[in-house]
A and B are shown apart, each in its own frame.
Chain A
Amino acid sequence: MEITIRCRQTNDAVIRMLEMLRMTDRKLTGHLGNQTYILDVGQILYIDTVEKRTFLYTDTEVYETPLRLYELEERLESCDFFRASKSSIINFNQIQSLKSEFGGTMQVTMTNGECLNVSRQYAKTIKEKLGCL
């Protein structure tokens, strides 16, 4: 399959379209400094949004992506990513351990040792995946 995009200039809309196309191949583009990297979805630990900017967290680096969190959530659902809170998506395969908290929330420890919180609303997704519900 070959897709050709013809445009007069490369604007944000074109870049986002390219990102979407790359995602079908389980690849994401991340910007770090002035350079752009193609990342395999499996190596991303989690994704979060800070002040309307979306960041991809790998084991060692943090990359920025022009895609919105909801777009990533829709596309990455099949790759075992799940929404953990209003501002983050977690790669289920990169979870090392889980800790339940009172009030229904969960604390997730990633393979790089980082701890993330999963809100009560989205803790259900983990329980469903694990077969608790």
Chain B
Amino acid sequence: MKDIIRCYRILKPVCIHTSYIFTSLSVLYLAAYGLSGGQIPFSTGLLWGLLAFSAVSAGLWKLFLGSRPFRRLPYLLRLTLYLCGAALWGFVILNLLQSLSRAETGQNVGMLILTVGLLCCVCLELFNRYRTHMYNELLKQYKKRKDRQKV
């Protein structure tokens, strides 16, 4: 039972993170497809690729930025490791898609989506960091107010 709860605690934030990245990339892909008037290739393979990129980059986020063993390393190093890992995985997916269906995938579109995907990863992480910073600042203010009341 404990293992199941542990798995749930690890997988839940990863799934939520995956859904954020996948949704934003899918919306971007659909918007680009609509704006180009169908010029951009639209394949289920690319959508699966987006999902794989989102899931693995969320897993990397949990590993480098959310797990205890890596907390000893400086934050910037962990962030760099996370982004490099996500970028590497993105390139692997792109090459895989390219080798599977050369005509349909569209390397340029893939590169654009990969860049935006990485930007999404950074934005999500920065947003979460800002939120944490804000909560801690408010906590400090709350404690100061409490101390004043005591005096």
Contacts and interface: CB of A to CB of B under 8 A. Distances in A.
Contacts of B12: 103
Interface stretch (B26-34, B91-99, B102-110, B134-142): B134-142
Nearest to A100: B131
Interface stretch (B13-21, B37-45, B48-56, B112-120): B13-21
Nearest to B145: A131
Contact of B132 (A93, A100, A105): A100
A100 B132 CA distance: 5
Interface residues on B, range: 10 to 19
Contacts of A101: 13, 66, 128
A97 B20 contact: no
Interface of A: 80, 93, 95, 97-103, 105-106, 117, 126, 129-132
Contacts of A93: 143, 146
A130 B13 contact: no
Given A102-B13, A102-B17, A103-B13, A95 B128 contact: no
Contacts of B139: 95, 97-98, 130
B13 A131 contact: no
Interface of B: 9, 12-13, 16-17, 20, 66, 124, 128, 131-132, 134-136, 138-139, 142-143, 146
Contacts of B128: 100-102
Contacts of A102: 13, 16-17, 20, 124, 128
Given A93-B146, A129-B142, A131-B138, A99 B132 contact: yes
A103 B142 contact: no
A54 to B, nearest CB: 20
Contacts of A117: 9
Contacts of B143: 93
Given A130-B142, A131-B138, 4 more contacts: A98-B135, A101-B128, A102-B13, A102-B17
A105 to B, nearest CB: 8
Nearest to B20: A102
22 contacts: A80-B146, A95-B139, A97-B136, A98-B132, A98-B136, A98-B139, A99-B135, A100-B131, A101-B128, A102-B17, A102-B20, A102-B124, A103-B12, A103-B13, A103-B16, A105-B13, A106-B135, A126-B135, A130-B135, A130-B142, A131-B142, A132-B138
